Structure 1
């Protein structure tokens, strides 16, 4: 729970962080704005140009508190952390499994497709009487075809390229009707397809920002479980890429991020004016909008659901840590297969 709730986000450019005894102190223009005991911290996430004292950096590294540096629009820049602890036998098992990852990839893909389909089905239930018949039919057709892909993935002999192809096919179906889930009166807040690095419209800007936050949590969860976040199964290895963290977040994208993004837009907590477009065409959240999203993200992580495998209630924000632990147990041989997390 400590790693779930005790993340500090610093979004005000020009803020300064320093160490005072065993306390993190945040200041703006010399005025103290917050004091947080360091024993309560698991990580600190900084957006844009924030000053960090060398004493604080050293204290965080020694205490196992991760410092994550993002640019002002939320793109990952660096992590500062002390020695990474982990079980060498677990990591050897992970590296061996990465050479033949088909069964693990099958579980990841099943979880992702099932959760994407659940988002579509939830929209059909929530707006049952409001959809135009043609729109409802399009969403139902996409959900039906995704169910067919899901059955295919569950029952055929897993072949890595075919599993990746099924994951891509289902994602195309999901995003082909994603705009039907948006109910904002703002013409700018419409979906025309995925764009990133940089995002080219407000919805993509919001999704990219939230995916960055989820990636941070998944990476921390992998390392906390003693896993190597750079060696994945679904995502190919690439220098500097946290492939395992990206694997872990695939089944969580739709219920944790996409649903939150839709809620923020459909409840009109975010409007067209909460985004800025640069001369390059890139679109980003404003400073105030980022704070709104961060507050909603933290609230979302506190919501509880019954974990389908553990059969116990757990907050959304704890799910990456639970899944990383279950993956570690599978790699150690304690579980026959990796159990994906299903959103209900």
Structure 2
């Protein structure tokens, strides 16, 4: 049983992190005592914006295999540091061979997309059950996604799959707008990214960045190459496999969190700021609220059909990365995405 460790998030501008024996000490710009945090209890460290990390701490984290991730204040993944590449080189070789085989590649890509569509559909069906005004429209959108699942199952190449994914995403986000309660003061105009120009999209992008960081780390932990994927194409600097595997987690871990934070009014429009040029991002206080909720949700347990037991959300990406590795080693006949 893998122990669920914590992730340290640091977002205060001007803060710095230092190695203090077997602990990390966070120094805040306004000063004041800060109790060191034992490294033994930390799975990873995520810093956002203008944060300094000492070379001694980076070296210790590299030796321990503990990733340090840099993100923008808006939640965009920037880069990560780690130690030497781990994992069996034969696994990565099998991964490269699978990508080079069109039949194997489309089979894995089909499974990744099916997991995304199925989980997105469940979000809409739950929303329809809870809605008093949009039941019919939400159920119709969920039915359209069921049709997208069938289309994905028939797709014979990755290009066709990406077309199915695009249509399913449009259907889903049109319905997602109906799940944002108007009395909250938030309006979702449709998915806008790079950069997000409204609070809901800014929140979604921030949460997607957290999911991506978690999945990227799981790939490296298992020994997979995060940059060689199956659904997403290979491009320099693009972690295609991490993007593949995070698809099945987007709606359940990120979209549901965004809806909860908004609809329960744990966050409001004043928790966002508009930057020169029109980009919108969370304020420092808004990020604090979101990260606090995210840490709670990491411990929430979900049923995993393959394992036959409950698994904390924070460990789901590692489980799925291991299932992908087992398939690439031919220990499993196919990749089985996680679905709620």
TM-score (norm 2): 0.95
Alignment pair present for 1:294 and 2:295 = no
Within the candidate set 112, 123, 129, 1:125 is matched to 129
Please name the residue that 1:83 is paired with: 84
Q: Please give the root-mean-square deviation of Cα atoms over the aligned residues, in Å.
A: 1.5
How big is the shift at 1:4?
Answer: 4.6
* CA pair 328-305 structure 1, distance change in 2 beyond 3 A: same
Specify the SS of the correspondent of 2:19. Answer: strand
Contact 1:276–1:286 (8 Å) recurs in 2: yes
Write out per-residue CA displacement over residues 229-278 of structure 1, whole angstroms, 9 at most, x where no aligned residue.
Answer: 01111111111111110100001100110011001000011111111112
**TM, length-normalised to structure 1:** 0.94
Task: Output aligned runs, 1:71-150, within 5 Å.
Answer: 71-99=72-100, 100=102, 101-127=105-131, 130-131=132-133, 135-150=134-149
Shift in alpha-carbon separation, 1:46–1:306, aligned structure 2, 3 A: same
Q: Is the counterpart of residue 284 in structure 1 residue 284 in structure 2?
A: no
Query: What is the total number of aligned residue pairs between the two structures?
Result: 336
* 3-state DSSP of counterpart to 2:188: coil
Alignment of 1:22-37 (within 5 A): 22-29=22-29, 30-37=31-38
Q: Does 1:21 align with 2:18?
A: no
Residue-by-residue CA offset, 1:119-167 (whole Å, 9 max, x unaligned): 000001122xx21xxx33222211111112212333x263222222111
Decide which of 162, 176, 187 is 1:164's aligned counterpart. 162
d(CA) in 2 for partners of 1:4 and 1:238? Answer: 33
How far the C-alpha of 1:22 sits from its partner, in A, is 1.4
For residues 65-123 of structure 1, the C-alpha deviation after alignment (integer angstroms, 9 at most, x for no partner) is: 11111222222222121112111110011001112201101111111110000000000
Query: Which structure 2 residue ranges, 5 or more long, are not aligned?
Result: none
In 1, are the aligned partners of 2:70 and 2:79 still within 8 Å (CA)? yes
Shift of 1:40: 2.3
Unpaired runs of at least 5, structure 1: none
